[in-house]
Amino acid sequence: MTENRQWLINGRPRGRGLVDDDFKKVVTQVPEVTEGHVLVKNEILAFDPAQKGWMENIGGYVAPTEIGEVMRGSGIGTVVESRDSAFAAGDKVMGGLRWQDYAMLTGSELIKVPDDDLLSANLGALGTTGLTAYFGLLKHGRPQPGDTLVVSGAAGATGSMVGQIGKIAGCRTIGIAGGKDKCDWLTQEVGYDHAIDYKNEDVRAKLKELCNQSINVFYDNVGGKILNDALAHIAMHARIVICGGISRYEQGDMPAGPENYFNLIFKRGTMSGFIMNDYASEFPEAKKRMRQWIKEDKITFKEDIQEGFDNIPETLKRLFAGQNFGKQLLRLD
C-alpha cells in the first residue's frame, strides 16, 4: 500500500512560541476506503493563527485536541477513491484534510470546489479568511457610507479582505500593518486610503492625526496595545469587532483588558466577538458575492505559498513571526 506521511500533535504550546518538538512526523499506511467515505490526496494546506489555539485547547469552540492526533488543518485535494455516490475520482474537494498526504473522510465532511484559477482561493479569499472578513464586518461592524473603518493586522489574509469589503460599503479605510512593504501594498494595490506602520510609527499619534475621535468601525485582529490605541479615538456609536488577538498568542495568560474600555460608555459604543461558523447557513450567498467582487476587480488578494511536506510546521510558525504576506498556504510535494 502507499505510505501516508503525517504530522502529529506532540506538545501544548501554551504561553510560548511553537517549537519543533510540538510536532512529530510519522509514516503510516493509506487506509482502506470504507462505505460512505472518500479518500483524498492532499495538495494544498491552509494555515491560520487559530491552529495554535487548537493545540492549546483554549476557546472551547472546537473539540479538544489530543496529543498524538494528526494535526488539524484545512486543505484542498483530489479524490483518489470514493465510496460515496456524490463524489468521483478526480473531483477537487476541500475540507479538514489535516497535515497528511491522504485523508479519508465521509462525504458530508467534504465540499466540491471548481478546478479553476481560483482553486487555492477557496482556502483564503473564498474560504475561512474571506468569510471571517465578510461576516465580521457586515454583521458586527455594520459599515455605512462615509464611515471611517480602521483595521489592525490589515495586511493579513483577513484584514486585507476587510478593508476591501469596507471600500465596497463606502467607507474611508485605514490599515495598521508591520513594515513599509506591507503598508505600500495596502495603499497601492488593496485600496486602503491610509496605512500605519506599527513597526516604525507611533500608532496612537497616527490615529489622532488621521481619525481623531472619528473611528466608526474598528476591526481588530491583534488586541493588546493597538486595541487600546484605537479605543482612544472612537466616534459616537462606534462598533468594535473582535476577530483575533495575535498579540496574545505567545503569552501564557489572557492579556489584561483595554485600559480605556470606558470610552465605550462615553461614546455609546459596542464591542462584540463572533465565530464565522455562526453564519454557516449564509456561506453560499457570501461566497457567490465575493467571487463576483473578485471577477469585477473590486477585491484583490495575495497568497504566500510555501512548498514541501517537511516544511509544514515551519509554515505555521511564519504566521507568528509576521513572515507571511497574504494568506499562508503550502503545496505538498
Residue 97 near residue 329, CB atoms below 8 Å = no
Q: Give the percent of the chain with pLDDT over 70.
A: 95
User: What sign has the CA pseudo-torsion 139, 135, 275, 264?
Assistant: negative
- pLDDT for 259 equals 85
Q: Position of cell 472619528? A: 214
Arithmetic mean of pLDDT, 117-127: 94
- pLDDT for 138 equals 98
Question: Among residues 24, 47, 31, which one has the least CA distance to residue 102?
Answer: 31
- pLDDT for 256 equals 62
Arithmetic mean of pLDDT, 197-208: 96
- pLDDT for 293 equals 96
pLDDT tens-digit series, residues 84-94? 999 999 999 99
Residue 220 near residue 230, CB atoms below 8 Å = yes
- pLDDT for 244 equals 81
What confidence tier does 146 reach under pLDDT thresholds 50, 70, 90?
Answer: very high
Average per-residue pLDDT for the chain: 93
pLDDT tens-digit series, residues 281-320? 999 999 999 999 999 999 999 899 999 999 999 999 998 8
Distance CA 110, CA 229 (A): 42
- pLDDT for 59 equals 67
- pLDDT for 235 equals 97
Q: Which run of H or of E encompasses 287?
A: helix 283-295
Q: Position of cell 464565522? A: 276
Q: Is the pLDDT of residue 272 over 90?
A: yes
Single-letter code of the amino acid located at 290: M
Distance CA 200, CA 17 (A): 24
Helix (H, G, I), strand (E, B) or coil at 100: strand
- pLDDT for 3 equals 94
Give the count of beta carbons closer than 10 Å to the beta carbon of residue 278.
11
Contacts of 5 (CB under 8 A, 6+ apart): 25, 26, 27, 100, 101, 309
Q: Is the pLDDT of residue 1 over 90?
A: no
What confidence tier does 224 reach under pLDDT thresholds 50, 70, 90?
Answer: confident
What confidence tier does 207 reach under pLDDT thresholds 50, 70, 90?
Answer: very high
What confidence tier does 33 reach under pLDDT thresholds 50, 70, 90?
Answer: very high
Q: Position of cell 495575495? A: 302
Q: When comparing pLDDT for 66 and 63, which is higher? A: 66
Q: Is the pLDDT of residue 27 over 90?
A: yes
Q: Is the pLDDT of residue 247 over 70?
A: no
- pLDDT for 49 equals 84
Q: Is the pLDDT of residue 249 over 60?
A: no
Q: Is the pLDDT of residue 251 over 80?
A: no
- pLDDT for 250 equals 52
